[in-house]
């Protein structure tokens, strides 16, 4: 009876391990797999990855053949120990739990196979070698798995806003919404290094201020969507939700209005610097939705400058506007207004005329032009 149970256990465990190793070994033959990236990051050459893959695949098959099972299990255990060592060397000791379960099961297979062999040969000696090996491997496994117990990456331990039942995929979707909404990478909020695998990151820690702010933002967005927007009675079929990107537009801080930014530069560094800044931002962001490069922004700013008595700055920005938005009749009209205010009638006329050539029905430009023509 005991023997029957141990036979069943042996075959179930062997079959399970064969599947695990075939599954782990096969993708290692692909140069575009995650394994290829991981092995490269660990500094191993491609042949080593192929070798590990081959041992896993062949070992997985040989586990199922009684005569070869012990050797296969030993070879696979060496691979598992090597993998654990790699995690530790690369500063990620908690990842050794990945190999812990297979290692325990491999030890079990070795133990059971050795016992059968020993029973068959009535040799107590080989049995004790078998059980010693099993005990040793089991101990190494338990010691290796200890640090992992407290922090299992598949489980989230510090979610204060998001639902605790969120699946791994669901959480990653939320996080990807953060990275694209703010135009950043995971390490903007989490402790980790660019280029290192995510398994080396500390996602639980709250030390980065950006992560704490992100929590505030997350709560704010939930209130906006669940409490305020939910109360709109006539919601369209394509009802929108507020997201990080709604305000952040792919920037770490929500961008301020273009005219606000330029006004600040003019006040601090003068209009020439502001024009430089405009070209810089336009170069980088034109066609995107971060800044408004349509004619209105510069026209509004010019009016503000004129009201503050900065006519020359206003003229410089309106001239810029006629260059970047050559079809802006309003930019020419405002230029006319400022020249008129300065008493430069000829220049004023010229600009009203340009405004009218672009927009013949513009009533304001028409009125001014007729007044001046008298
Ligand atoms: C804008 C900041 C921000 C960015 C960028 C970000 N996260 Fe997060 N992440 C958070 C916040 C905030 C939480 C905690 C949420 C909560 O308390 O409910 C969190 C929680 C997590 C957790 C759960 C940790 C735990 O055990 O509690 C994981 C895992 C995680 N993030 C992974 C990622 C990954 C992977 C990326 C990159 C794709 C990423 N995050 C990008 C802010 C960010
Ligand atoms: C309603 C608009 C709005 C939405 C939606 C929004 N934010 Fe913000 N966010 C702001 C404002 C405003 C600031 C403050 C900018 C400043 O003055 O530094 C800010 C600042 C931040 C900061 C700190 C920036 C820094 O470096 O100082 C983080 C991180 C952040 N938001 C993350 C998020 C995340 C993640 C989301 C989506 C869950 C989000 N925000 C959604 C408006 C918004």
Does residue 228 belong to any structural domain of this protein?
A: yes
**Are 116 and 28 within one domain?**
yes
Give the span between the Cα atoms of 92 and 203, in whole angstroms: 13
**Are 121 and 9 within one domain?**
yes
For the whole prediction, is pTM greater than 0.75? no
Does residue 157 belong to any structural domain of this protein?
A: no
Nearest to 315 by CA among 344, 335, 345: 335
Q: Which of 215, 248, 281 is a domain's end point? A: 248
Q: How far is the CA of 8 from the centre of ligand 2 (A)?
A: 58
Q: How far is the CA of 267 from the centre of ligand 2 (A)?
A: 27
**Are 284 and 213 within one domain?**
no
Task: For residue 211, give the ligand 2 atom closest to its CA.
Answer: 29
**Are 228 and 273 within one domain?**
no
Question: What are φ and ψ of residue 191, in 5° steps?
Answer: -80, 120
* Mutation choice for ligand 1 from 154, 173, 190, CB with most ligand atoms inside 8 A: 190
Give the span between the Cα atoms of 98 and 111, in whole angstroms: 21
In this structure, what token pair is assigned to residue 194? Answer: 């660019």
**Are 72 and 206 within one domain?**
no
**Are 10 and 117 within one domain?**
yes
Task: For residue 198, give the ligand 1 atom closest to its CA.
Answer: 35
Does residue 105 belong to any structural domain of this protein?
A: yes
Count CA within 13 A, CB hemisphere, residue 62.
Answer: 18
Ligand number nearest CA of 245 is 2
Question: Tens digits of per-residue pLDDT, 292-340?
Answer: 898 989 999 999 999 999 999 999 999 999 999 999 999 999 999 999 9
Handedness of CA 48, 38, 24, 154 (dihedral sign): positive
Our answer on whether the CB atom of 252 is closer than 6 Å to any ligand 2 atom is yes
Does residue 180 belong to any structural domain of this protein?
A: yes
| Structural domain boundaries enclosing 30 | 2-149
Give the span between the Cα atoms of 95 and 343, in whole angstroms: 77
Our answer on whether the CB atom of 255 is closer than 6 Å to any ligand 2 atom is no
Question: Tens digits of per-residue pLDDT, 185-199?
Answer: 999 999 988 877 777
Does residue 160 belong to any structural domain of this protein?
A: no
Say what percent of the chain tops pLDDT 70. Answer: 90
**Are 25 and 94 within one domain?**
yes
Say what percent of the chain tops pLDDT 90. Answer: 52
Check pLDDT > 90 for residue 97: no
Task: For residue 161, give the ligand 1 atom closest to its CA.
Answer: 18
Q: Which of 98, 114, 149 is a domain's end point? A: 149
Q: Which of 248, 276, 310 is a domain's end point? A: 248
DSSP string covering 23-71: HHHGGGG-TTSHHHHHHHHTT--HHHHHHHHHHHHHHHHHTTSTTTHHH
If phi over 0 gives left and psi between -120 and 50 gives alpha, with beta otherwise, what is residue 43?
left
Which CATH number goes with the domain that contains 345? 1.25.40.10
Our answer on whether the CB atom of 245 is closer than 6 Å to any ligand 2 atom is no
Within 6 A (CB) of ligand 1 lie 156-162, 171, 175-176, 178-179, 182, 184, 186, 188-190, 198, 203-204, 210-211, 214-215
Nearest to 72 by CA among 40, 119, 25: 25
**Are 187 and 283 within one domain?**
no
Report the chain's mean pLDDT, rounded to a whole number. 86
Does residue 154 belong to any structural domain of this protein?
A: no
Residue with the smallest CA separation from ligand 2 atom 32 is: 214
**Are 10 and 145 within one domain?**
yes
Nearest to 309 by CA among 281, 270, 273, 338: 338
**Are 32 and 54 within one domain?**
yes
Give the span between the Cα atoms of 341 and 124, in whole angstroms: 111
In this structure, what token pair is assigned to residue 175? Answer: 């996080």
Question: Tens digits of per-residue pLDDT, 327-373?
Answer: 999 999 999 999 999 999 999 999 999 999 999 999 999 999 999 88
**Are 232 and 264 within one domain?**
no
Contact by Cβ (8 Å): 178, 189: yes
Give the span between the Cα atoms of 175 and 181, in whole angstroms: 10
Our answer on whether the CB atom of 212 is closer than 6 Å to any ligand 2 atom is no
Most confident among 35-39, 62-66, 144-148, 163-167 (mean pLDDT): 62-66
Helix (H/G/I), strand (E/B), else coil: 157? coil
In this structure, what token pair is assigned to residue 93? Answer: 């000791």
**Are 175 and 54 within one domain?**
no
The gap from C-alpha 22 to its chain's centroid, in whole angstroms, comes to 31
Burial of 305 from C-beta contacts in 10 A (0-12 / 13-18 / 19+): buried
Does residue 109 belong to any structural domain of this protein?
A: yes
Does residue 340 belong to any structural domain of this protein?
A: yes
Handedness of CA 53, 57, 60, 62 (dihedral sign): negative
* Mutation choice for ligand 2 from 179, 208, 212, 248, CB with most ligand atoms inside 8 A: 248
Number of structural domains (the chain) is 3
């Amino acid at each position: 009876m005991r023997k029957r149970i141990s036979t069943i256990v042996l075959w179930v465990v062997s079959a399970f391990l064969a599947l695990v190793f075939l599954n782990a070994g096969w993708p290692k033959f692909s140069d575009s797999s995650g394994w290829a990236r991981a092995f490269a990051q660990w500094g191993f050459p491609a042949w080593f990855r192929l070798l590990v893959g081959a041992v896993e695949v062949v070992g997985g098959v040989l586990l199922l053949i009684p005569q070869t099972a012990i050797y296969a299990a030993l070879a696979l255990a060496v691979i598992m120990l090597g993998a654990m060592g790699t995690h530790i060397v690369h500063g990620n000791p908690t990842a050794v739990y990945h190999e812990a379960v297979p290692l325990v099961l491999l030890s079990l297979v070795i133990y059971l196979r050795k016992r059968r062999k020993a029973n068959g040969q009535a040799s107590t000696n080989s049995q004790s070698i078998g059980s010693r090996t099993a005990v040793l491997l089991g101990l190494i496994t338990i010691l290796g798995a200890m640090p992992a117990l407290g922090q299992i990456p598949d489980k989230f331990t510090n979610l204060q806003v998001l639902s605790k039942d969120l699946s791994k995929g669901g959480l990653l979707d939320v996080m990807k919404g953060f990275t694209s909404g703010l135009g950043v990478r995971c390490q903007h909020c989490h402790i980790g290094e660019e280029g290192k695998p995510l398994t080396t990151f500390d996602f639980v820690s709250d030390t980065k201020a950006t992560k704490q702010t992100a929590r505030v933002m997350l709560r704010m967005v939930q209130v906006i969507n669940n409490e305020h927007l939910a109360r709109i009675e006539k919601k369209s079929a394509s009802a929108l939700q507020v997201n990080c990107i709604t305000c952040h537009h792919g920037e770490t801080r929500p961008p301020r209005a273009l005219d606000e930014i330029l006004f600040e530069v003019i006040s601090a560094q003068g209009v020439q610097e502001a024009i430089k800044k405009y070209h810089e931002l336009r170069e980088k962001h034109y066609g995107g939705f971060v800044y408004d490069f349509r004619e209105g922004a510069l026209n509004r700013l010019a009016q503000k400058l004129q009201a503050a008595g900065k006519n020359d700055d206003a003229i410089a920005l309106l001239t810029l506007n006629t260059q970047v938005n050559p079809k802006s009749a309003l930019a020419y009209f405002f230029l006319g207004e400022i020249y008129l205010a300065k008493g430069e009638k000829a220049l004023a006329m010229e600009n009203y005329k340009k405004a009218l050539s672009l927009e013949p029905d513009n009533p304001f430009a028409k009125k001014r032009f007729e007044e001046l023509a008298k």
